[in-house]
Structure 1
Amino acid sequence: MESVNSERRPTTYPPGLIFLIVPLDRAFGVYACVQLILAGLGSYAFARRIGLDEGPATLAGVAYMFTGHMLTYLPFPELSGATAMLPWCFWGIERAICSGAWRSWAVAAAMLGLVVLAQIQLAFYTYVATGCYALFRIVQRDEGCTTPRRRLLIGLALTYALGLGLSAVQLLPAMALSAQGQRSDIGFSLAPPEERFGSMLRLIFPALGGFERIGPPPVWGPPTFQVPYPYVGLAPLALAIIGLALARHRLAAFFGILAVASFALAVRTPLLQVFIALIPSYRQFEDHTRWYMVWGFAVAVLAGIAAQRLYTPADAGVWESASPGAGWRVRLPVARLLLLVVGAFIAGWSLHHLALFTPQSRFGQYLTMIRSQQLLPPLIFGVIGLASIVFLRLYRHNAAIAFAPVIAIAALDMWWYGAGFNTSVPPSIAQPTTDLTRELANYPRDRQLFQVLYPPTRQIAFLQAQPGPFRIHGADYDARPPNLASAYGLEDVRGYHSLYPARYNRLARLIDGKDYRRTSEGNVSLRAFLTSAYERPRLLDMLNVQYLIFPPGSATEMRYPGLELVHESDEGRIYRNSRALPRAWLVYRVATIPDDDAQLDFMARPDFDPATGAVVPEPLPAVGPAPAISDPTPTVRYAPNAVTVIAAPSVPALLVLADAYYDGWEVIVDGKPALVVRANYTLRGVWLAPGAHTVEFVYRPRPFLIGGAISLATLVIVTVGMLVRR
């Protein structure tokens, strides 16, 4: 159920079915293509909905689907899915406001529900952006719209409520995890001026500040490696500025403000500080650069508006303000005023930051950065882009011919910088060498190591052949990526996840010898990499870590005395930890400490031995004394969302299971419900009377069950709403 609790994985996002239908080595590529197409079609549909012709709408679609944000996160199914749904949410809201029909509001609710199912952080940005847009449209509605504003506001409120209801199956578990997550104490800091100025420069020079790639440069793309997410293309950016300066479209000012605000939030200006003050819980969203999604969409729409204005005579088309009243005309200077104010501010701030003609001048520093990259590509894209815009303005005979150059150069420009960031390789690259194939042949064919997409390495094959359950630990930072183990059915105590319980983070920091009273530093959430686990090896033993992995030439091995070398190859060394506790064990001495910090302090003491004692937050029935002859080690068997333990203590004892304590776990002892005990700060346990027992830990997460019921009920309501014609 961890994947449902996650804020990142699109477990319930419908296009995720691709990973169940298409072979896994092809599924990621197919899924990415689907999201690109959805993003482009959604932007095109919205542009057409607000009155743009086919040419400008196509430009808007292409400009959004190839933005730096989209291409940066294309390999991440949850992020690309939410990015693709943003324009569809705008389309649904615009359609509902124009028609006022309940059916249209139901469709908009479905779009808003889907974006939450994809990824919650980007869904939050989508809700903020579309909410502002909806309020703007309702307040400044068309004169031809006969639907009362009150009904529009009611429809809007119901739409957002239904959208959240549809996604409750994903939203409620994620909120529950967030409430217990490691980001609860995360802080905030403004970006340094150099970072903000560099982000603005990268709108023109997207490879600025990149570093050399390992290996030969790509066939397509710059030789340096740089994240392209601020980039929106030179031609679309120029058109967006033109749109603010010349366009009379009623939405030009809104999307101009949206673009400026989202960019300011992405680069962590004081505006983000105000935003966090208004919505304190927003601090848990660690990566603010994802506001570039909204920035890219706003620029794409502005580019389409400007292209329509350049190609269409000023007095033609209902896409401009059709109303002769002053209400629409007042928005014309708003867009230009926004352009002037923002332009003047950027110019003034940039001059102040550069500190020209002073000893502290930064001009030379930035000039060197610009000159150190390839200047020919931006020059070519800039010149051809400008020429295509001029051609669009002058050529009026055929719309397809007029728009083809600017669309093509925008796509090529963004694809040049974005496609090289996330490259693809054929699956054949993972074929093992002849020596590795010969070595793997020594293992039985029915083992899990032959049931995965990519063949294992020597170390992984060795570990998979060991009897379990057990956990592993990469003792150095570069000893196997933390997430690699799970793909091969191995359990790594590190792991990597965006959001996970704060209790485990604090325990990991205790083991690491770090300050375990906090889980973040500034605006960065601290990860549980356990690179200094030698500080408290007994607690590492408590987590059932039987094997430690070291890369070749590691200097950390000597810090772990008493280990047994069991495997050595060119990949490094694997040691067996004979002191590791089993997955479940019995203790006969329990300390009751209600305070969380005091529990960790107790566990940090040199005399704390998890093999013989435990700490719990509430009093339990008496345990012990320890028997003269050790009780048999409990056996553990896993099933989906369930763990069965067979234990037979000879005296009252606390059974400790080295798995994380989390809301939703229930325990049944010999067929009767019992109390799940939080043992050793973050593990699960249960008190047992003397005798043989069958203990079943079952995961029944209430947020998921309640959320599922809400989602099903909301789905029925939305389906009925789509069938209503009024």
Structure 2
Amino acid sequence: MKFIAPLHQKSDSVSTLTNSPNKPLISIRSLWLGMVLITILALIMWRFPLFTPSSVFHGDMIGFGLPLFNLAGRAFSGHASLLWASGVYGGHPIFAEGQGAFANPLTFLIGTIITPIAGPIFAMNFFQFICLLLTGAGMLGLCRQIGFSAVASAFSALAVTFSPFWIYTILDNPVGTGTFLWVPWCLWSLEKWLQQPNLRSSVFLGSTCTAMLLAGYTPGFHATVLYMGVRVIADAFNENTRNIWINTWSIRIATGIAAILICIGLSAIQWLPLLELIAQSHRNDGTGLTLIVDVTTTLRGMFYGNPRAVSFVNIGSPLILALALCALSGVRSIRITGHLFAAIILIQLGCNSPFFRFVYDHNLIPGIHYVRITFQFLIPGIIGIILIAGSSIDAFNPWFSMQTRARRSAILFGVALVWITAAATLYTPDIAIIQLGIAITAFITVTILLSSKYGRFVPITLLFLLTVECSMRLNPFQTANNDNFKIPTSVLAIKSTKNWQDYKVLDTTVALGYAFHDPHTPNLTAEMKVMLYSLSGLTSTLWGINSMDGALALPLKRHTLLTNPILNEINGTSSLPPGLRLIDTLGIRYISTHEPAKDDLAFRTFLHSDGFPWIIENTAAMPRFQIYQDHVTVDSPEAALAVMQTWTKRTLVIENAAGSNHQIEPSDFVSRQPIAADSPSPANFEIIKASDTHYHLNLHATKPCWLFLADANYPGWKAYLDGKPVPVFSAQVQGKAVAIPEGQHQLEFTFESSSFRWGACISFITLMLTTVALLLDWRKRIMGLQLTNKISGNN
């Protein structure tokens, strides 16, 4: 099979050699056209969030993105913790989750510079705008590294940055945007390393992969690494590149290992805590598929972009597909061949194809069973298709000059026939017919220009037509005035109650599902306000309300165990009476529901307004600190839940399994006789300090007892009684407890994450070593250049 090569690129075999003088030259001047077009279109698309007091008021922006930006801004200014969030999932190691991208340098810069000045709403919108620009810059660099002209590079960069899959699938989720912008950068660094395997290119490769890993969406990193692996393997099927690898194998292995170690070391601050969390998460053993589109839908999305269909997450451009088909009939390009193979495999994995089912069923790709949705495979694959289409821009003139009239006509007829057949077969009435019009116009115009003396205008003509097509997509979301983000009445009502910080909220409505509605839904703003009112997802963190909810991928396994039992208690199908229920023990006091309160369950209507859910109050909810006299010991959270489902009186259920993690229980707490339920509390306490990661209490115990904190236990939580470390036991499934002996005591709980500490140290050391290596390399090159100049001068 033959593929189109860029006009000035006759062969890859020379330019892939180390230090070849024929390697593609990337200069700022060669990128200006693409960056100007991308910046103008991005400013037009993002004009309201950037220049007016309004914001994108849609989907994951509200229930996910904005709360995380708000938390990051508060943490970077010293007013919150990134290591532990007591207001998420009843206690969660939010930094380890990774989806907050708190270790991402871009998030840090915006959180420390933009957020204090303009607030988290503008910071979130500005972040999305910057991500658009960085996406385009990465594509421009990739295309120039491969050897595209400035016009072809601008064409490909526009095609990716303003494609339907990028705008409608990624831009409504800041973590997705922040992650997938690095796909072209990773491919760019890979191409640079393939052409020049040296220290600088290995640092570039390792750094871009690190940036993607730190951006928060690890499945995107998984898909991109897979794409890069296929791209490298493709070189083995070409004699020229195979010989190059044979001749330079030692430097390639050395620099390749260096890039891998740099990525591992720089990202240790994130992946060490992440691995610790995965071991505690409900997804430790993998997860089932929850969203996978069929092959026909994927192919239709390759041709047509429909902003009102969530499953259309692809290129969505008949023009791009027409150019890709043309490229398949052109002349040879080794690099483009590698991207084609990678794109075909990734697109197969992105839909419910026989290839995907075979790979998934036989677990042929490491980590494939941790995949919950598969669109992340489509994104690198689609970038590959756009690269193939973009390669045709530079090749029309030489391609025409190498073909006879009869052969040229036959090839063009065949391409047109395939394109028309696909367009008709995959057509959907929901798309704008102008998409077809632009593609047909391009086909006719290119044919006319190439048949005349004006063939040199083909690239700029195609770029103009693509710009027109992209301009049709510059109104992707609704925006709403920032007044819609004001504190909802539900939050004001909760904060007006006594000791509200000691209790949690729980959302049982479907309000979080509004995040998946069409971004052009007429009543979308009203739906988002319902989400805020219901405290869905992560919205409770905007106002410091503790919640049993979240919108992250890795809630603790012990948290997911409680989901159905808690819903049964709220719905009245549990046999436990008020006072002994999980919602009571864990302090769940305020519940958003679609129904009024049931008085026989110790519930009362707390707040209700027309058009909004009910907020009901659980009057039997207990505060976050509780004193227990009796306890039982079990070996797992499942066993603890089973005991609590058969309670007859308030009892502390602690977990203390046999094995290496077994903790010694104080002897005077083990064999005591049960104490009557109506006995006075054996201890009084005063809270001196309370924050997400540190609690300090004064206690006076008249007899031995247990102090329970309704905040999830997790590795890193430690307790100090009178300055001495004491065991912390997981208790009541999702809490922690400490044994308190008789007497006056000072008790401190503190979260000290060793995985974060070690990860930060490894990342810092790697950064220092990499910087020193680059400086030494730079010094060596300067000295070599000076020596060369001196020798030349002497001659």
Does the alignment reach a TM-score above 0.5? yes
TM-score (ref. length: structure 1): 0.78
Matched, 1:21 2:113: yes
1:304 equivalenced with 2:390 (yes/no): yes
Shift, 1:532, TM fit: 7.8
Superposed counterparts of 1:314-353, under 5 Å: none
Partner-residue secondary structure (3-state), 2:711: strand
* 1:638 alignment partner AA: A
Structure 1 residues 46, 165: closer, same or farther in 2, change over 3 A?
A: same
> How far off its partner does 1:126 sit?
1.8
Q: Which amino acid aligns with 1:558?
A: K
Which residue identity does 1:474 align to in structure 2? D
C-alpha contact (below 8 Å) 2:100/2:175 kept by paired residues: yes
Separation (CA, whole Å) in 1 of partners of 2:722 and 2:126: 48
Change (3 A) 1:459 1:153: same
Distance in 2, matches of 1:391 and 1:705, equals 65
The answer to whether structure 1 residue 384 and structure 2 residue 423 are counterparts is no
Choose which of 568, 590, 609 in structure 2 pairs with 1:547: 590
What's the C-alpha RMSD, in Å, of the aligned pairs?
A: 3.3
Aligned pairs for 1:271-670 within 5 A:
271-276=355-360, 277-313=363-399, 370-371=428-429, 373-387=430-444, 389-390=446-447, 393=450, 397=454, 401-414=457-470, 416=472, 419-428=474-483, 430=484, 454-466=485-497, 467=499, 468-478=501-511, 479-513=534-568, 538-550=581-593, 554-555=594-595, 557-558=597-598, 561-570=601-610, 571-605=612-646, 607-609=647-649, 611-618=650-657, 620-621=665-666, 622-623=668-669, 626=675, 628-631=679-682, 634-636=685-687, 637-670=689-722
Q: Indicate the residue corresponding to 1:252 in structure 2.
A: 336
The AA in structure 1 aligned to 2:380 is V
> Contact (CA 8 Å) 1:103, 1:721: kept in 2 or not?
no
Q: State the shift of 1:459 in Å.
A: 1.4
Q: Which runs of 5+ in 1 are unaligned?
A: 208-221, 317-335, 351-362, 431-453, 515-529
Structure 2: distance between partners of 1:469 and 1:390: 72
Aligned to 2:352: 268
Tell which deviates more after alignment, 537-546 or 633-642: 633-642
Q: Residues 69 and 231 of structure 1 are in contact (CA less than 8 Å); yes or no, is this contact kept in structure 2?
A: yes
2:34 paired residue number:
none
Secondary structure in structure 2 of the residue aligned to 1:203: helix
**Equivalent of 1:74, from 167, 171, 178?**
171
Deviation at 1:579, TM superposition (A): 1.1
Q: Which amino acid aligns with 2:710?
A: A
Change (3 A) 1:653 1:617: same
Tell me the SS of whatever aligns to 1:569.
coil
1:720 alignment partner, one of 769, 772, 789: 772
- The answer on whether the counterparts of 2:558 and 2:637 sit within 8 Å (CA) in structure 1 is no
Distance 1:14-1:581 versus aligned 2 partners, 3 A rule: same
Aligned to 1:493, the other structure's residue is in SS state coil
Deviates more, 1:488-497 or 1:135-144: 135-144
Q: Secondary structure at the match of 1:160?
A: helix
Partner of 1:177: 277
Q: Secondary structure at the match of 1:370?
A: coil
Instruction: Answer whether contact 1:190 1:269 (CA < 8 A) is retained.
Output: no
Q: Is the 8 A contact 2:394 2:459 kept in 1?
A: no
Residue deviations 1:208-265 (CA, integer Å, cap 9, x gap): xxxxxxxxxxxxxx6x454542234221222122222224211232222212111111
1:708, distance to aligned residue in structure 2 (A): 0.7
Contact 2:164 2:305 in 1 (8 A): no
Gaps of 5+ in 2: 1-82, 84-92, 403-410, 512-533, 658-663, 782-795
CA contact (8 A) 2:596 2:616 kept: no
Aligned to 2:525: none
Q: How far apart, in 2, do the equivalents of 1:309 and 1:35 lie?
A: 31
Residue in 2 that maps onto 1:128: 226
Distance 1:153 1:390, change over 3 A: farther
Contact 1:138 1:149 in 2 (8 A): no
Of 307, 311, 317, 1:233 maps to 317
- Displacement of 1:135 after TM fit? 4.2
Residue 658 of structure 1 and its aligned partner are, at CA, apart by: 0.4
Contact kept, 8 Å, 1:190 with 1:268, in 2: the verdict is no
Give, as a single letter, the amino acid of the residue that structure 2 aligns with 1:409.
Answer: L
What's the CA shift string for 1:375-419, capped at 9, x where partnerless?
Answer: 5233333323434554674576585x53333224334435645x5
Q: Give the AA of the match of 1:547.
A: Y
Q: Cα 1:646–1:567, aligned 2, differ >3 Å: closer, same or farther?
A: farther
Distance 2:182 2:237 in 1: 25
Query: Counterpart in 2 of 1:39?
Result: 135
Secondary structure of the 2:602 match is: coil
C-alpha offsets along residues 6-25 of structure 1, whole Å, 9 cap, x if unaligned? 13222111111213322223
Distance 1:127 1:660 in 2: 34
Whichever residue aligns with residue 643 of structure 1, its letter is Y
User: 1:68, 1:168 → 2: CA distance?
Assistant: 34
Flag the 1:561–1:250 CA change in 2: closer, same or farther, 3 A.
same
The answer as to whether partners of 1:107 and 1:722 remain within 8 angstroms in 2 is: no
The residue matched to 2:367 in structure 1 has which SS? helix
- Kept in 2, the 8 Å contact 1:587–1:614? The answer is no
Tell me, what secondary structure is at the counterpart of 1:425? strand
8 A Cα contact 2:305 2:317, kept in partner: no
Deviations 1:55-112 (A, max 9, x none): 1111111112123332121232322122111111122122223222212211221111
Distance 2:571 2:377 in 1: 33
- Contact map agreement 2:98 2:214 (CA 8 A) in 1: no
| Cα shift at 1:421 | 4.3
Which of 726, 730, 741 is the aligned partner of 1:674? 726
Question: Which one-letter code corresponds to 1:379 in the other structure?
Answer: L
Q: Distance in 2 between matches of 1:295 and 1:73?
A: 15
How far apart in 2 are the matches of 1:504 and 1:256? 44
CA drift of 1:539 comes to 0.4
Per-residue CA deviation, residues 262-287 of structure 1 (Å, 9 max, x unaligned), is: 11111132433444413453322312
2:743 match: secondary structure: coil
Q: Is the 8 A contact 2:131 2:181 kept in 1?
A: yes
- Asked if 2 retains the 8 angstrom alpha-carbon contact of 1:55 and 1:403, the reply is yes
Q: Matched residue of 2:710: which SS?
A: strand
Structure-2 residue corresponding to 1:158: 258
Aligned equivalent of 1:206, options 305, 325, 329: 305
Please give the secondary structure, in 2, of the residue aligned with 1:278. Answer: coil
Aligned to 2:37: none
- Residue 97 of structure 1 corresponds to 194
Residue 715 of structure 1: how far off its partner (Å): 0.8
Q: Which residue is 1:433 aligned to?
A: none
Q: Contact (CA 8 Å) 1:67, 1:296: kept in 2 or not?
A: no
- Is residue 118 of structure 1 aligned with residue 118 of structure 2? no
TM-score by length of 2: 0.72
617-626 or 462-471, which moves further after superposition? 617-626
Letter in 1 for 2:371: F
